[in-house]
Amino acid sequence: MTTLTSPSFRPLYDQIKILLTQSLIAGEWRPGESIPSEIELAQRYKVSQGTVRKAIDALAADNIVVRRQGKGTFVASHAQERSTTRFLRIAPDQDVHEYPVSELVGFERERASGPSQRLLDLRAGASVYVIHRLLKFHNTPTVLDEIHLPSALFKGLDEALLRKHKGSMYGFLESHFGITMIRAEERIKAVLADHHSAELLEVPEGTPLLCVDRIAFTYGDRPVEWRRGLCVTNSYSYVNEVS
C-alpha cells in the first residue's frame, strides 16, 4: 500500500501522476498492459477517484497511457499501430500515408564524447552504440540517421539483432530492452551534404539537407537516445502539429 506521507506544493493529482510514473519506471506495468482501474488506484493511494482520473488524464496527454473506451487504460506502446509513426515527422508532399523501409548501413560501439556524452547525461568514459541507417520511401534514400544509445541500457544490442528487426526502431528498443520513448526534443537547421551523406542519400555533394537533432526521453525524463537525421526534402517535408 502506497500513501502520501508528506506535504508538497504540487497539486494532489500531480503527486499521483508522479507515483504512477514511478511504478512504470519500476516495471510494475509493461507497455501494452492495462493499469488498475481508477477505483483500485484511488484505494491504493487513499485519494478520491476524481484525483486519480486527473492524474491519468495528465499521463494520457503526455502519451504515457492510452484510454480505450469500455476496456480500460493501457500503458502506451510503440508496438501499437498509432505509435509507429508518432516520432516520424518526414512526410511526402503529396500527403500520402507511407512508412519508410529502414536499411542498416553501420553499427559500432565507441566511447561517448562531445554531444552524445552531454545530451545523454553520461559519465566520462561511458560507451554508446552508434547506429547508422537509411530510411527509404519507395526505395529512394530520404533520411540518413546517426543514432546514439547508452550501451549500459541496451546490453546485448548487436548488428545481427538490428538486421533481423523490421519496423519501428522505438518498437524494437521497447520489445527487446524494455525502454519506452515517451517524448522527444528536436532542433532543426539547414546544412549541406558532405561527401559521405551525399553518397548514401544519392544526391550531389553540397545539396541542401534538413538536419534534425533529436533527444528522446523515457519515464522520469531520462534521455536515452540522441540522433541526427539528415533529410532530403525535394519531395518531402518536416510536418509538425502545434497546439
The residues, ordered by sequence, that sit 6+ positions from 156 with a Cβ below 8 Å of its Cβ are: 176, 177
**pLDDT averaged per 10 residues in sequence order, the chain, 243 residues:** 52 90 86 89 92 91 84 78 60 74 94 92 94 92 96 94 85 88 92 97 96 92 94 86 65
23 contacts 30 by C-beta, under 8 angstroms: no
Tell me the pTM. 0.77
**Three-class HEC string of the chain:** CCCCCCCCCCCHHHHHHHHHHHHHHCCCCCCCCECCCHHHHHHHHCCCHHHHHHHHHHHHHCCCEEEECCCEEEECCCCCHHHCCCCCCEEECCCCCCCCEEEEEEEEEEECCCHHHHHCCCCCCCEEEEEEEEEEECCEEEEEEEEEEECCCCCCCCHHHHHHCCCCHHHHHHHHHCCCCCEEEEEEEEEECCHHHHHHHCCCCCCEEEEEEEEEEEHHHEEEEEEEEEECCCCEEECCCCC
| CATH class of the domain comprising 12-75 | mainly alpha
The residues, ordered by sequence, that sit 6+ positions from 233 with a Cβ below 8 Å of its Cβ are: 208, 209, 210
The predicted pLDDT at position 66 comes to: 87
In the CATH scheme, what is the code of domain 81-238? 3.40.1410.10
Torsion on CA atoms 168, 61, 93, 227, rounded to nearest 10: -50
Provide the b/e sequence for 114-136 (b: ≥16 CB within 10 Å). Answer: eebbebbebeeebebbbbbbbbe
Grid cell locating 9: 506544493
Phi and psi angles of residue 57, each rounded to the nearest 5 degrees, phi first = -60, -40
Measure Cα distances from 46 to 5, 58, 195, 199 in Å: 11, 19, 62, 61
Sign of CA dihedral 112, 113, 118, 124: positive
Q: How far apart are CA 85 and CA 97, in angstroms?
A: 10
51 contacts 60 by C-beta, under 8 angstroms: no
Provide CATH 1.10.10.10 ranges for the chain. 12-75
